[in-house]
């Protein structure tokens, strides 16, 4: 819920610096010198000169000491467990001012100059006129409309809306009219209903230098999320320099190897620096039948070594074990982000997904016999997250449209995202099924994502066709298997850098509707 007005005027001075080479910005750092015309909201947090502050009764109250080298990281990089940043919440980090957007992430408003707080006020080198404008004569000739147009062109500012509610109550003798105060809101980043993401399910297993290479390319392509899967990955797997990862429960039910979670801890903190959130898939269905040589604890305990998956999908003992796994993951604490549980890090995690490619077929046998399984698991995830948590709950997708378009998923109150997967490479089939999924999503109030798609040949042409259909329907899409190495003999779209292979970044730049 939007608590207070976030005016657009301060952004003029940010964009003027982009439009006019002679403009020199000198914004004051929060909380000592907030942007003009922005009301700081009760409960807002900010870092200043090595301390975190909280806004209480129109004053900043010192909370805790902070620095960039300890767990008590200065805002906005880490939040207190109890902190819930409202839209328009403001903070400073590393001499940059930030504001919280409707997308649930921080956007930088540009560099700032620390001010000195004195008993008589704030000292600094920015002159403020009575009109409420920052004086910069070199920029005065640029009209506000020009600034708004430039913001829109750059994708920084999307819309401005005004909401007014009026109600009338009538009695026999009197009529009383109550008018709600008009609230004007701005969107500084795309709304969470439309964006482009990518799959790199083993990104946490790669060396940090390679992670940075991929994240840099994805950020340049305006990708907002990257999907990873908690599963084993071999050292040097898929021709990469992977360090290797071991599944959370490889040997026995309830015996957790947190090594993979610790790898994801580090990736989470790194990705946050590139404004990219993680979509974390809690389990890989392919480990249930040893399709790729991995028969995990669930495969061994409930699937007869991978011969029959119904022992997993229709078994209350398996459900209980899987829900315990989910709880272990969501309550795992990240030492790089304030030692908070994953469930409490919404600025770094976009969604938790129940399972990758759930049910479907295995060994030529149909395993799709429990359409209620996703919803039951989603209910447990939502209990752990809490109703007000910004982290979303996704099904994770079935093997293909037939296993993803499950009516029970659309009807489930605890499912936020119904994910679609498709590898048929038939544009007619994809168009029909995406239209159907969009209609079901609208009917039930669910988000629909195209969580996976790929191609063996004609990769560039295929991603362009898929993006065109998905963008028209406002369905976020995430191609499968971006990597740091070429990928010509798989359904993946190849490496993020280099000359040979598919240069996915350039395709994403042209096709992302964000």
Instruction: Return phi, psi of residue 18, to 5°.
Output: -80, -40
pLDDT of residue 147: 32
pLDDT of residue 105: 54
Lookup: tokens for 384: 């752990």
Predicted confidence (pLDDT) per residue in 322-361, tens digit: 999 999 999 999 999 989 999 999 999 999 999 999 988 8
Report how far residue 170's alpha carbon sits from residue 191's, in angstroms, rounded to the nearest whole number: 39
H/E element holding 404?
Answer: helix 401-404
Which whole-number Å values give the CA distances from 393 to 60, 132, 171, 202, in the listed order? Answer: 35, 44, 46, 21
Could you identify the residue written with the tokens 């740091």?
484
pLDDT of residue 112: 56
What string of pLDDT tens digits covers the 514 residues of the chain?
A: 222 222 222 222 222 222 222 222 234 444 433 333 334 445 555 555 566 666 555 555 655 666 545 445 455 433 333 344 455 555 555 555 666 655 555 565 656 554 433 333 333 322 222 222 222 222 222 233 333 343 344 333 323 222 333 333 333 333 333 333 222 223 223 334 577 889 999 999 999 999 999 998 888 888 889 999 999 999 998 888 999 999 999 999 999 999 999 999 999 999 998 889 999 999 999 999 988 889 999 999 999 988 889 899 999 999 999 999 999 999 999 999 989 999 999 999 999 999 999 988 887 777 778 999 999 999 999 999 998 899 999 999 998 898 899 999 999 999 999 999 998 889 999 999 999 999 999 999 999 999 999 887 787 788 889 989 999 999 999 998 777 676 544 444 444 333 222 334 434 433 333 2
| Residue 401 CA, distance from chain mean position | 24
| Residue 488 CA, distance from chain mean position | 29
Task: Annotate 356-375 with three-state secondary structure.
Answer: ECECCEECCEECCCCCCHHH
* Whether 423 contacts 478, CB under 8 Å: no
| SS3 (DSSP) at 204 | helix
Report how far residue 280's alpha carbon sits from residue 422's, in angstroms, rounded to the nearest whole number: 19
| SS3 (DSSP) at 184 | strand
| SS3 (DSSP) at 185 | strand
pLDDT of residue 276: 92
Q: How many CB atoms lie within 10 A of CB 382?
A: 20
Report how far residue 205's alpha carbon sits from residue 203's, in angstroms, rounded to the nearest whole number: 5
Domains and CATH numbers, the chain: 9-154 (no CATH), 197-511 (3.20.20.80)
Closest CA to 353 of 470, 469, 231: 231
Tell me which long-range contacts 50-58 makes (C-beta under 8 A, separation of at least 24): 50/74, 55/31
Closest CA to 200 of 107, 275, 264, 121: 264
> Per-residue DSSP letters for 286-344?
GGTTTTTS---HHHHHHSGGGT-THHHHT-HHHHHHHHHHHHHHHT-EETTTTTEEGGG
Who contacts 328 (Cβ-Cβ below 8 Å, separation ≥6)?
Answer: 248, 256
Helices 9-19 and 144-154, axial angle in degrees (round to 10): 80
Predicted confidence (pLDDT) per residue in 282-337, tens digit: 999 999 998 888 999 999 999 998 888 989 999 999 999 999 999 999 999 999 99
pLDDT of residue 141: 27
pLDDT of residue 217: 87
Lookup: tokens for 82: 């109890």
DSSP 418: E
């Amino acid at each position: 819920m939007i608590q207070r007005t976030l005016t657009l005027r301060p952004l003029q001075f940010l964009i003027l610096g982009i439009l006019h080479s002679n403009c020199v910005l000198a914004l004051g750092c929060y909380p000592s010198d907030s942007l003009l015309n922005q009301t700081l909201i009760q409960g807002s947090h900010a870092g200043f000169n090595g301390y975190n502050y909280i806004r209480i009764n129109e004053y900043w109250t010192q909370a805790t000491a902070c620095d960039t080298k300890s767990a008590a990281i200065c805002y906005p990089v880490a939040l207190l467990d109890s902190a819930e940043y409202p839209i328009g919440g403001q903070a400073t980090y590393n001499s940059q001012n930030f504001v919280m957007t409707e997308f649930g992430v921080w956007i930088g408003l540009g560099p700032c100059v620390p001010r000195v707080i004195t008993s008589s006020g704030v000292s600094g080198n920015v002159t403020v006129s009575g009109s409420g404008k920052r004086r910069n004569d070199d920029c005065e000739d640029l009209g506000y409309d020009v600034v708004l147009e430039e913001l829109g062109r750059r994708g920084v500012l999307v819309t401005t809306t005004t909401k007014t509610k009026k109600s009338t109550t009538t009695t026999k003798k009197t009529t009383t009219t109550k008018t709600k105060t008009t609230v004007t809101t701005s969107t500084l980043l795309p709304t969470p209903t439309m964006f482009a993401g990518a799959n790199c399910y083993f990104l946490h297993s790669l060396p940090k230098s390679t992670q940075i290479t991929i994240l840099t390319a994805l950020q340049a392509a305006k990708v907002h999320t990257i999907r990873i899967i908690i599963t084993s990955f071999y050292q040097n797997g898929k021709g990469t320099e992977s360090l290797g990862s071991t599944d959370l429960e490889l040997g026995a039910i309830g015996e957790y190897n947190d090594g993979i979670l610790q790898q994801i801890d580090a990736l989470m903190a790194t990705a946050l620096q590139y404004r990219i959130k993680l979509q974390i898939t809690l389990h890989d269905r392919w480990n249930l039948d040893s399709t790729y040589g991995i028969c995990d604890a669930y495969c061994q305990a409930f699937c007869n070594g991978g011969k029959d998956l119904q022992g997993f999908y229709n078994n209350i003992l398996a459900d209980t074990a899987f829900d315990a796994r989910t709880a272990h993951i969501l309550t795992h604490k990240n030492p790089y982000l304030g030692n908070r549980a994953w469930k409490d890090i919404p600025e770094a995690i976009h969604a938790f997904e129940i399972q990758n490619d759930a049910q479907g077929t295995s060994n030529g046998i149909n395993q799709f016999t429990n359409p209620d399984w996703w919803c039951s698991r989603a209910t447990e995830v939502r209990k752990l997250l809490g109703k007000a948590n910004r982290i979303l709950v996704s099904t994770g997708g079935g093997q293909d449209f037939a296993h993803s378009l499950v009516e029970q998923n659309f009807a489930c109150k605890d499912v936020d995202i119904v994910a679609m997967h498709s590898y048929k490479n038939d544009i007619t089939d994809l168009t029909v099924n995406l239209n159907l999924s969009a209609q079901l999503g609208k009917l039930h109030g669910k988000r629909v994502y195209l969580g996976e798609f790929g191609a063996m040949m004609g990769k560039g042409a295929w991603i362009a066709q898929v993006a065109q259909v998905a963008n028209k329907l406002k369905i976020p899409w995430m191609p499968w298997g971006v990597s740091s190495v070429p990928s010509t003999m798989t359904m993946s779209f190849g490496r993020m850098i280099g000359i040979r292979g598919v240069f996915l970044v350039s395709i994403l730049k042209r096709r992302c509707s964000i």
